[in-house]
Copies of this chain bind each other. A is one copy, B any other.
């Protein structure tokens, strides 16, 4: 069977089963935003890896090497944010054609370094190999957290409210704009969100340390697709209220010029790098206060239900809406 027919998530399941093994210091292996490894009695190490590949994840005609460097690190930082951790060092495996300019590579690393400095994170190694044609940027990022405060995907509880940070869908809208005309739309906020996302490190850490999240994930595959990771791993279902999905003013103004549906990019578009988390209803005021203090919108968009209900998207009068295809898949 060709990989195209297998699909990304079934492939991960196959590999996980095939390589299953245990090690005394491993707390969580494959299946969350980062692996969790015990480090002494109270602390743990978080490790995540993400790869960006030219023509699949980015086009050099849509971005600059500096922004590409920033984003390469941001997508990894976002995984550490989703575990409630603090990043501290990273490793870069870079494949580039030997015809590429030194300036491109320097700008790429300048971008990574700029983003890294924001979070007191340092480059500690890597590997650079020549490629036949395209650019592949693979980063492994290490972070740390207190063992007790790490937030996983699999601990959502029935009755938990579901929250999202920021405004989902802007990144997907930005990509639609870039596909239409990269030069004309380059100053749009949605395009900026797509090319230079802001990983929610401080917010993820605050949610974790204040025990305000039972489960958490970052939105890389799309809000619904990532919520599915939470519900499947927690063996729960979810209700999402369409009217509560937060849409930014600029998104509302421009979305329908690029998408036939106002909600499709917000629910099914990927690469928002916002946090999606679930929290007990009693925490609502604390979460509102955290949102105010951090200046980052945090919106309740639904609740965790029985597993039998799967994910239901509820529109007017709480009527179920058909989901259609879900999220971005690599294969």
Contacts and interface: CB of A to CB of B under 8 A. Distances in A.
A109 B35 contact: no
A29 B92 CA distance: 12
Contacts of A96: 3
A128 to B, nearest CB: 6
Contacts of A132: 55-56, 133-134
A22 interface: yes
A102 B48 contact: no
Overall SS of chain A's interface: mixed
A55 to B, nearest CB: 6
Given A22-B122, A89-B26, A2 B128 contact: no
B133 A3 contact: no
Nearest to A139: B93
Indicate how many identical chains form the complex: 2
A115 to B, nearest CB: 11
A34 B127 CA distance: 11
Contacts of A11: 102, 105, 128
**For A49, A50, A99, A113, which residue has the most chain B Cβ atoms within 10 angstroms?**
A49
A98 B4 contact: yes
Nearest to A110: B18
